[in-house]
Structure 1
Amino acid sequence: MFVIITYDIGHKRVGKVCKKMREYLDWTQNSVFEGEITVGALTKCIRELHEIMNNEEDSLYVYQINNPKHIKKTIHGQEKCPIDLFL
Structure 2
Amino acid sequence: MYVILVYDFGEKRVAKMLKLCRRYLNWVQNSVFEGEISDVRLKELLMYIKMFMKVNEDSIIIFKTASQVFMERQIIGRQLGSTDNFL
Same fold (TM over 0.5): yes
> Are the equivalent residues in 1 in contact too, given 2:26–2:82 (CA < 8 A)?
no
The amino acid of 1:62's aligned partner reads I
1:31 aligns with 2:43: no
Runs of 4+ off more than 6 Å: none
User: Is the Cα–Cα contact under 8 Å of residues 27 and 83 in structure 2 kept in the other structure?
Assistant: no
Are 2:71 and 1:71 equivalent residues in the alignment?
Answer: yes
What is the distance in 2 between the residues matched to 1:67 and 1:81? 20
Instruction: Please report the TM-score for the alignment, with normalisation by the length of structure 1.
Output: 0.93
TM norm structure 2: 0.93
Secondary structure class of the residue paired with 1:3: strand
| Paired residue total | 85
> Gaps (5+ residues) in structure 1?
none
Shift of 1:31: 0.4
User: 1:45-64 alignment to 2 at 5 Å?
Assistant: 45-64=45-64
